[in-house]
Amino acid sequence: MKSKTKSTEYNHQKIEKKWQKIWKLMRVYKTSEKGKKPKCYVLDMFPYPSGTGLHVGHPRGYIASDVYARLKRMKGFNVLHPMGYDAFGLPAEQYAIAHKIHPRKAVEENIKTYRKQLDLIGFSYDWSRSVNTSDPGYYKWTQWIFLKLYSSWYNKIIEKAEPIENLIKIFEKEGNENINAACSSDARKFTAEEWKIAGNLDRQNILMQYRLAYQGFSEVNWCPQMGTVLANDEITTDANGKQVSERGGYPVEKKTLRQWFLRITAYADRLIEGLDDLIWSPHIKEIQKNWIGKSIGSDIEFSIKGRQEKIKVFTTRADTLFGVTYVVLAPECDLVKKLLPAVSNRKEVEKYIADVKSKTDEDRMSANKDKTGVILEGIKAINPANLEEVPVFVADYVLANYGTGMVMAVPAHDERDYAFAKKYNIPIKEVISGGDISKEAYIGEGKLVNSGKFDGMNNLEAIRKITAFVFGKVVTRYKMRDAVFARQRYWGEPIPLIHNADGTITPVSEKNLPLKLPNVSSYEPIGTGESPLAGVKEWVEKGYETNTMPGWAGSSWYFLRYMDPHNKTKFVGEKADKYWKQVDMYVGGAEHATGHLLYSRFWNKFLFDYGLIVEDEPFKTYKNLGMILGSDSRKMSKRWGNVINPDDVVKNVGADTLRIYESFMGPFDQEISWSTDSMIGSRRFLERVWKLQEKVVNKYSDNEEVILLLNQTIKKVGEDIESFSANTAVSSMMILSNLLEQQEKISRKTYLDFIKILSPFAPHICEEIWFRFRNRKLLVLEKWPKYDTAKLYSSKAKIVVQINGKFRTTIEVPADSLQDAVEEEALKNEQVVKWILVQKINKIIFIKNRIINFVIASQ
């Protein structure tokens, strides 16, 4: 065997093509559920295959997870590393309309492009497990899960979803008097008798208030000119500040439409609690927590003088009840309508409500914080704590959709109430912090304290006491609302429900799933606000639901399908699910924190409730990545002309260089600008590694410095990959290669160990080098090298000598030397002596192998 391998030029194109072909032929990335190895499920967020293809930013996360997956494989894990396509959704539909091509066709073509682009970069995906959410074989199960949600309710006593049949049995037995369930806010109490005599439609309406997928109404953005509903993304503001469609610039208004909802709020508590055990970056958890927005407060009733109706307010500060000086109702509040006839300034109030309605949400929110409102003359609310009469206002700073839409105002302790009270000259009464509940303790003089600041009583105990005192109820509320689960669009999963002529709804039976999306000639809006499916005769005749599911339906469970993608009888088989359990490492963008990441957790918990899967949480570890911006520090987009196509990079400098560069460019979770200039450094690095082949000899022992650094690097690179610090991993390998370059000879073992730890980052070049050293087995199947703990540290230690904490010089001593020895050595040093001179040493601070600090100045 030749001791030196003749080095040729590093031809990345040839090498990358060659090994991609061989890996594919040998199916090295194919995974199965067999064997005794521990498992590791490494997942990327699957892309939406757009018409513009991948840009250089997309692979950043894919590269990081691929490096991780490769390391795990080499460390002996059975790795599941799949990739697929999130193919339903609005962008595909828009692309299709713009290009006059059927979305299915467009998606097919785009997927081909994506696959080609991804393949060029050399990812270690098991493509045999790929999924496409718009494939009927896939969305059959999306529909199946929807039906499961539809036929479930949430039992709050056992904190679990259950079949709706259980609920019906309870209704039959005892009505809903004692039920503790997640339900719509308008659910009323009824008895078993009432249930028995109720008609089918009544029963349906009642059940709808409990189902986890339910029908309801919501406001949408409606564009009369285009005859279609628009997503928020499709709307911009024109020069006059009016809301208009992004395409065409047509006016947009609000319209109430029939929708389907998912009762995600049922899971609010579990979605918060579940975060504790997840290894996610804290700020992502924080975003989810904020979004869910749990707050504990009290429902308290104020009676209205001389009337039957009650004003039911929600407050988190029941302890300030004695400071209430007025009550506010939201303009949309039903109670306002009921009270209007008795209001003496009725005209004024009606005008105010009309004005508010004409404002857009944005106007209302951004209206420079100036509070507006109008008093309901002739109406007085009675504070249940002290039976004081207070005025009632209608004001738009109270939102109809949070809490009860009615608020007790305590200007002394709430900034907004304070601003309002100042403007309308309402008294401001401070509540004195005190111990027991007695009127005296709470009633103070009418002077202002710093808004909102009220120590002492702001605790649950006080709130409980006073809430009980006024016969209120301590309740938990959430900001999060139920998710609208319907789109008036063509390109989505059909909702598998049938509307019968009598108004009842029947689910499509399981054996008839998938309910396939019909092939229509026109998938453009039909002008009524309904989905294009409403224009398909056979569809409507059969009574099928014309709304389709939103883009996030398919992505809410795809991680489960990868475990068992070809299962025809279940969305995931028991065996596969028990084996893979959950995603161990999930990588993707932080922008999905309140969307996909929340919905997926919700669906996963729901399926878990039924024992259909074994894990409550889908993603154990989640690493969020920062975006790659264009070299001009703007988002890469056609509009700015700053898009870099990975295909070009791969062609010019190679996939390995791209992989190294994207790993090296900066911390993974930070946004960073692309720099083609900087990339050259990564290419140079690989070329130097390539050239090192010439220095390799068979029988040679490396010097201590090389051996130490090699061992340290093996350790560091392994640890850095695990913690997603690829940038420092690459830098440490550069340091090693720099040292190896200085050597005249390198041992074969050292070089090949280096190649092994480099291979997750640059698999092609490493496989080629490995091959050139006449290894028969493929490098991708090799084990990760072990470092020798005895060879991590030098036998000598460099000690920093400080005088008064200031660096003065370094000395070299045997490793692990004790203080006395180091002291003695240090005091021999000229530099040290010079600084100490005749001054007395007050104190010596010594840290083994690191530092000795002489403190001489007296304090």
Q: What residues from 276 to 305 belong to the interface with RNA (CB under 7 A)?
A: 282-283, 286-287, 290-291, 293, 295, 297
In the numeric block, the tokens 């697929």 are attached to 84
Show the tokens assigned to 225: 């000119």
Identify which of residues 781 and 815 has a Cβ nearer to RNA in the complex.
Answer: 815
Show the tokens assigned to 38: 């521990």
Identify which of residues 207 and 746 has a Cβ nearer to RNA in the complex.
Answer: 746
In the numeric block, the tokens 């309901």 are attached to 376
In this chain, which of 560, 572, 672, 780 binds RNA, going by CB under 7 A? 672
Give the C-alpha distances (Å, rounded to integers) separating 737 from 290, 380, 753, 775.
Answer: 47, 82, 12, 22
In this chain, which of 130, 360, 594, 621 binds RNA, going by CB under 7 A? 594
Identify which of residues 201 and 460 has a Cβ nearer to RNA in the complex.
Answer: 460
Nearest distance in Å: CB 229, RNA: 20
Nearest distance in Å: CB 741, RNA: 6
Identify which of residues 291 and 771 has a Cβ nearer to RNA in the complex.
Answer: 291
Rounded distance between C-alpha atoms, residue 353 and residue 821, angstroms:
85
In this chain, which of 688, 695, 749, 772 binds RNA, going by CB under 7 A? 688
Show the tokens assigned to 291: 């979004």
Show the tokens assigned to 84: 């697929």
Our finding on whether 645 is near RNA (CB under 7 A) is: no
Our finding on whether 843 is near RNA (CB under 7 A) is: yes
Residues 725-754 that bind RNA (CB under 7 A): 725, 727-728, 730-731, 734-735, 738, 741
Question: Which residues are 797's β-sheet partners?
Answer: 813
In this chain, which of 238, 389, 807, 824 binds RNA, going by CB under 7 A? 807
Identify which of residues 314 and 784 has a Cβ nearer to RNA in the complex.
Answer: 314
Identify which of residues 402 and 424 has a Cβ nearer to RNA in the complex.
Answer: 402
In this chain, which of 228, 315, 750, 759 binds RNA, going by CB under 7 A? 315
Nearest distance in Å: CB 21, RNA: 29
Show the tokens assigned to 428: 């401001």
Exposure string for 500-539, b = 16+ CB within 10 A, e = fewer: eeeeebebbeeeebbbebeeeeebbbbeebbbbbbbbeeb
H or E segment and range at residue 205 = helix 200-208
Residues 689-728 that bind RNA (CB under 7 A): 725, 727-728
Residues 471-490 that bind RNA (CB under 7 A): 479
Nearest distance in Å: CB 686, RNA: 11
Our finding on whether 459 is near RNA (CB under 7 A) is: no
Q: Among the candidate windows 19-27, 230-238, 509-517, 673-681, which touches RNA by CB under 7 A?
A: 673-681
Rounded distance between C-alpha atoms, residue 347 and residue 364, angstroms:
22
Nearest distance in Å: CB 808, RNA: 5
Our finding on whether 330 is near RNA (CB under 7 A) is: yes
Nearest distance in Å: CB 666, RNA: 3
H or E segment and range at residue 293 = none
Nearest distance in Å: CB 533, RNA: 30
* CB-based contacts of 729, cutoff 8 Å, min separation 6: 663, 716, 717, 720, 721, 761
Question: Which residues are 310's β-sheet partners?
Answer: 303
Q: What is the DSSP letter of 10?
A: -
Q: How many CA atoms does the CB half-sphere of 182 hold within 13 Å? A: 28
Q: What is the DSSP letter of 558?
A: H
Nearest distance in Å: CB 51, RNA: 24
Identify which of residues 49 and 61 has a Cβ nearer to RNA in the complex.
Answer: 61
Asked if the peptide bond before residue 514 counts as cis, ω within 30 degrees of 0, the response is yes
DSSP-based three-state secondary structure for 315: strand
In this chain, which of 528, 798, 815, 818 binds RNA, going by CB under 7 A? 798
With CA atoms as reference, report the closest residue to 523 among 225, 222, 95, 146: 95
With CA atoms as reference, report the closest residue to 684 among 729, 734, 628, 721: 734
Over the window 516 to 545, marking each residue x when it contacts RNA by CB under 7 A and - when it does not, the resulting string is: ------------------------------
Residues 59-88 that bind RNA (CB under 7 A): none
Residues 361-390 that bind RNA (CB under 7 A): 364-365, 367, 369, 371
Nearest distance in Å: CB 114, RNA: 25
Nearest distance in Å: CB 843, RNA: 6
Identify which of residues 211 and 592 has a Cβ nearer to RNA in the complex.
Answer: 592
Q: Among the candidate windows 90-98, 435-443, 664-672, 762-770, which touches RNA by CB under 7 A?
A: 664-672
Give the C-alpha distances (Å, rounded to integers) separating 104 from 96, 97, 512, 522, 632.
Answer: 9, 12, 22, 13, 35
In this chain, which of 93, 396, 609, 825 binds RNA, going by CB under 7 A? 396
Residues 553-592 that bind RNA (CB under 7 A): 590-591
Q: How many C-beta neighbours within 10 Å does residue 185 have?
A: 6
Rounded distance between C-alpha atoms, residue 751 and residue 710, angstroms:
9
Rounded distance between C-alpha atoms, residue 108 and residue 672, angstroms:
32
Identify which of residues 78 and 663 has a Cβ nearer to RNA in the complex.
Answer: 663
Residue pair 605/561 in contact by the 8 Å Cβ criterion = no
Nearest distance in Å: CB 265, RNA: 12
Size of the site for RNA (CB under 7 A): 82
* CB-based contacts of 790, cutoff 8 Å, min separation 6: none
Nearest distance in Å: CB 710, RNA: 16
Identify which of residues 225 and 290 has a Cβ nearer to RNA in the complex.
Answer: 290
